[in-house]
Structure 1
Amino acid sequence: MVPVPQLIRDAVLLLARMVLGVVLVAHGMQKILQGVSATAQGFGGMGIPLPEAAAVITMAVEIGGGVLLILGLLTPIAGVLAGLVLAGAVVFAHLSNGLFAADGGWELAAGLGVGALVLAVVGPGRFSLDRLLLRRLRGPETPAGP
């Protein structure tokens, strides 16, 4: 493997967080604009258990998790929660429709979910609030001893 310079790695992680976060927020806003009742009714029609609770949780994770990913804040938690919500979307809403998103298939939900899990595992990179807060918690860096 060819090593990737840290600046490029961090820039790509920032780009991934931004794109994934914006898509999550947009999907959450679609559900908010439809309303909890309409979203829950749709979820119920797909066989999602506890559709009202699932609708509220999905909206919160898509919007809240999307914003957290954009900011690079609580990235492991936001990534795992988004991954779980999107796994549910794959299983309950998309798997039976085949691969392609144009046909209601699972490709988009699976790609977003895996992307969220990758960010949860790899981390948000240097250009993130997680990194800024971690630096503040650790305090000023001291030079290594002899």
Structure 2
Amino acid sequence: MRRTTLILSLALAVSVAVNMLLGGLIAGHHWGDPPRHRSGDFLFDRAFSAVPEELRGPIRERLRPEGSDLRMDMREMRDARRAVDTALRARPFDPAAADAALAALRAKVGETQSSLHATVVGVMAEAQANGTLPPPPEPKRRDPRERERNP
């Protein structure tokens, strides 16, 4: 095989590979499912894996209404994060302002978590009082790589 033929063959193979990669990315973007790791459902499922699947829907419904306390808490938490960002970027740096912004964020995170936890506990307590509390889900097997990191 001549050198020119070899170079053209390699260029063709690389071109086909790049085109297939780009085509796959475009097709996946248009027809694929959204990544689960970015959705709130993934975070909820991971944080509350012991909550029976049948109760997750009612919990989510209580958290979703427009104007709910949790929605307001999320807006306030976003504002608190922005205040922290502003305080940490300020020059000259003001340690007291940064401490105050971080304290406000900690307080808001605590309030939001308390609201979320109260909703989970309330739905489960109602289900138990109604006699409809399902058994807990089976624990998920841990990733073997996780065991190596956290024996």
Superposition TM-score, scaled by structure 1 size: 0.30
